Structure 1
Amino acid sequence: MPIPDVRKGMPPVKLSREEFERRYRDRFTDPVFDPLAQQCDAIINAAWDAYSHARKAPVTRKAGEGFADPDYEIAVDWLAARDAILQAQRVHNDSSRPPCILVINGSPRSEHSCPGEMSKSWRLFELARHVFAQMGFAVNELDLSRLTSEFGKQIHPCKSCVATAMPLCHWPCSCYPNYSLGQIDDWMNEIYPLWVAAHGIMIVTPVHWYQAPTVLKAMMDRLVCADGGNPDPSSTHGKVAAEAKALELEGWPYPRHLAGRFFSLVVHGDAVGAETLRRSLSDWLTDMSLISVGRTGEVDGYVGYMEPYATSHQGLDEDRAFQKEVENAARALGQAVKLARAGKLEEPGRGLRDPIPK
């Protein structure tokens, strides 16, 4: 089969020196920078040099043994992220350690930013975390509200490399950091190992306009590399689209890097959409070959249904039944992980080959 051509034709995005400087100077709007004008000028000149020469990954080393092209200059940032994932996998496989649960708060709401009040998701997250601690699990916490409330926390958008060819999507993602474009402080290299180390994942989230909150969706999109992603960027010499297309057409194996982990879900709303989001999240996770723990482990419901937002926390105080559902979802996940660890619970589809991957 001939290699498809690589389609081009979108408008250019390169900035002029003047426009680049205007945007960069916006970072120094605070008058506290006024006495540092000369230093700011020097920083802008250096940043322009990096941008104009497109130095995405300025610090590299040869890939070395174990890579398709040992001489390929690979970003040291990516190698560090890969090492963290490999260590997390060793932790996951170590049967002498207590099994690990990753609990995720999918709400952007925080008392430390504009809302001025904690989220109900955080309260439910805490209920679940307490259950897992009581059951003897190692618990890792991932609070996505830090994206809105903590300096230097970002999840940059997925660039959809998969749609060019699956091998162009590297595991872990190699799109970031991109120093020349100022796309830094990406949180995902810390998040990937949390998923890898986990035996069970529980997501607690509100519904926003029938959909996942922005912070949760950003993480979901960037986890695409965990489902079929290429663990060797040297095989495509970075982002060479034609090489990735050729690899995919040779027969790509679509490695499922998170397969076999169990999950539970809690989705809450105030009026509509919780059922839709719960189903979407379940479909997403099962498509990545994670395993649902069943009906008890997939909860959707409404807190303070059609009542004022101002009293929603009081509504949660009074809704003991929903709180109990959340605790049961945690217990169901914990029990599934323990049974699997004891060899008493296996995935029914284990060993079956997917005839149409992805």
Structure 2
Amino acid sequence: MPLTPKPGKAIKPRKGMPSPQLAEAEFKQRYNDQFFDPAFRGVQAELDKVVDIAWDAYDKSRKSPVTQKAGPGFSNAKYDLSVNWIAAHEAVKAAQLRHDDKKQTPRILLINGSSRSEHTCPGEMSKSFRLIEIAQEVIETEFKVKVDILDLSRLASEYGRNIHPCKACFSTAAPLCHWPCSCYPNHAMGQTQDWMNDIYPLWVAAHGVMIITPVNWYQVTSPIKLMMDRLVCADGGNPDPTLTDGKDASLAKKIELAGWDYPRHLAGRAFSVVVHGDVAGVENVRRSLSDWLKFMKLIPAGPSAEVDRYIGYWEPYATSHAALDADKDIQGEVRNAARELATAVIETRKGRMVVAGAELIDPRQK
């Protein structure tokens, strides 16, 4: 059912940052940089026509050049919604139906958080991916649960894979952050090929999620952080962009202050986190991921499902895979984490796993 805004206090959004708007010459220079390869010189006349069209789209801010009426189910059925967002919205709805269908085999999403791959500059696969394969084998062979793999290393190794940064709409007002995200694609800005519209349904369809990741400079990896930030809309985001007339910041503030219910779109899914490192930071990264997932109302699968370990502690990076080969204990711990997650998923689906306090309402939402 569409949300109905109540009367709220009007607050004017703060302004004052310098404009990032480019002049035509600078825009065209940047646009042409993607055709630096001399092979493009033979079609320069055609490229000039293309860049003129791109400039016109940028200058006139054609973020969503193809739209259609929102239709039934939205607060403003006549509002023009981006066809890209409608497709993402329908994919999320279909994923939720699969998730809720008790006749469907349970699904677990395994996420490789490392950006390392033999298909890019490192020239070698990541240890995280190897641990993903260990978890996958256990879940599929021992529990007959379906597995989806989200390999975030493809951000660096596959053409046209992008996760654009979160614009922090939520910090202006919760209803301004749409579920799924409506900030991208932005065709006027060239911010296209955004992967998140494929990633959202994977999270929604999953009954359990396992993240396996290394530590990068005491923090989560760049791909993990990009995904985390863009999942903010899953935790309190607005499923009806027509409610805020698209991106009307003033209206969104008014709606939030009138009372917002902060819907948790991923609540109730079980999770497991495995973090590995070589010199420092594993406990902090594991804790930050676990805290993030619990804040979104996902449920810890159990004590064995959260692991932080060092592989080849202070040993050469060149021999890190050999260190993993020799470390049978971490391999066993990953298997146990997978078993605990799969068990939690199965028991929850059968109504036999009781989570104390699941029905409690937080006194503080945001």
Shorter-chain TM range is: over 0.9
Question: What are the ranges of 5 or more consecutive residues in structure 2 without an aligned counterpart?
Answer: 1-7
Q: Which consecutive aligned stretches of 4+ in structure 1 deviate over 3 angstroms post-superposition? A: none
AA in 2 matched with 1:322: I
After TM superposition, give the deviation of residue 346 of structure 1 in Å. Answer: 2.3
Asked whether the 8 Å contact 2:9–2:257 carries over to 1, the reply is: no
SS class of match (1:69):
coil
After TM superposition, give the deviation of residue 294 of structure 1 in Å. Answer: 2.1
AA in 2 matched with 1:246: K
Counterpart in the other structure of 2:76: 69
Q: Distance in 1 between matches of 2:98 and 2:346?
A: 16
Asked whether the 8 Å contact 1:227–1:257 carries over to 2, the reply is: yes
After TM superposition, give the deviation of residue 2 of structure 1 in Å. Answer: 3.2
SS class of match (2:150):
strand
Counterpart in the other structure of 1:99: 106
Provide TM-score, normalisation by structure 2: 0.97
SS class of match (2:147):
strand
Asked whether the 8 Å contact 1:260–1:347 carries over to 2, the reply is: no
Identity %: 58
AA in 2 matched with 1:307: E
- Map residues 134-173 of structure 1 onto 2, 5 A cutoff: 134=141, 135-173=143-181
Aligned counterpart in structure 2 of residue 41 of structure 1, from 48, 51, 61? 48
**What is the Cα-based RMSD across aligned positions, in Å?**
0.7
Counterpart in the other structure of 2:203: 195
Structure 1 residue 319 corresponds to structure 2 residue 327: yes
Counterpart in the other structure of 1:210: 218
Q: Distance in 2 between matches of 1:353 and 1:324?
A: 37
After TM superposition, give the deviation of residue 343 of structure 1 in Å. Answer: 1.2
Q: Distance in 1 between matches of 2:166 and 2:87?
A: 20
- Map residues 24-35 of structure 1 onto 2, 5 A cutoff: 24-35=31-42
Counterpart in the other structure of 2:315: 307
Q: Distance in 2 between matches of 1:204 and 1:70?
A: 42
Structure 1 residue 123 corresponds to structure 2 residue 127: no
Aligned counterpart in structure 1 of residue 270 of structure 2, from 246, 262, 265? 262
SS class of match (1:276):
helix
Q: Distance in 1 between matches of 2:291 and 2:65?
A: 39
Structure 1 residue 18 corresponds to structure 2 residue 25: yes
Structure 1 residue 284 corresponds to structure 2 residue 315: no
Asked whether the 8 Å contact 1:167–1:230 carries over to 2, the reply is: yes
Deviation string 1:201-222 (CA, Å, 9 cap, x unpaired) is 0000000011000001000000
Aligned counterpart in structure 1 of residue 248 of structure 2, from 240, 248, 269? 240
Q: Distance in 1 between matches of 2:314 and 2:16?
A: 49
SS class of match (1:182):
coil
Q: Distance in 1 between matches of 2:345 and 2:351?
A: 10
Counterpart in the other structure of 2:358: 350
Q: Distance in 1 between matches of 2:220 and 2:257?
A: 34
SS class of match (1:260):
coil
After TM superposition, give the deviation of residue 342 of structure 1 in Å. Answer: 1.5
SS class of match (1:193):
helix
SS class of match (2:231):
helix
Asked whether the 8 Å contact 1:200–1:263 carries over to 2, the reply is: yes
Q: Distance in 2 between matches of 1:350 and 1:329?
A: 22
Deviation string 1:102-148 (CA, Å, 9 cap, x unpaired) is 00000000000000000000100100011111110011110000000
After TM superposition, give the deviation of residue 172 of structure 1 in Å. Answer: 0.1
Deviation string 1:252-308 (CA, Å, 9 cap, x unpaired) is 000000000000010000000000000000000000000001220000000000000
SS class of match (1:311):
helix
Q: Distance in 1 between matches of 2:19 and 2:101?
A: 50
Structure 1 residue 81 corresponds to structure 2 residue 101: no
Q: Distance in 1 between matches of 2:235 and 2:341?
A: 22
Counterpart in the other structure of 1:223: 231
Q: Distance in 2 between matches of 1:55 and 1:188?
A: 21
Deviation string 1:65-103 (CA, Å, 9 cap, x unpaired) is 111111111001000000000000010011111100000
SS class of match (2:68):
strand
Provide TM-score, normalisation by structure 1: 0.99
Q: Distance in 2 between matches of 1:304 and 1:115?
A: 18
Q: Distance in 2 between matches of 1:354 and 1:320?
A: 42
Aligned counterpart in structure 1 of residue 257 of structure 2, from 239, 249, 258? 249
Q: Distance in 1 between matches of 2:83 and 2:309?
A: 45
After TM superposition, give the deviation of residue 64 of structure 1 in Å. Answer: 1.0
Q: Distance in 1 between matches of 2:109 and 2:129?
A: 14
SS class of match (1:102):
strand
SS class of match (2:188):
helix
Asked whether the 8 Å contact 2:218–2:281 carries over to 1, the reply is: yes
Q: Distance in 1 between matches of 2:355 and 2:246?
A: 35
SS class of match (1:179):
coil
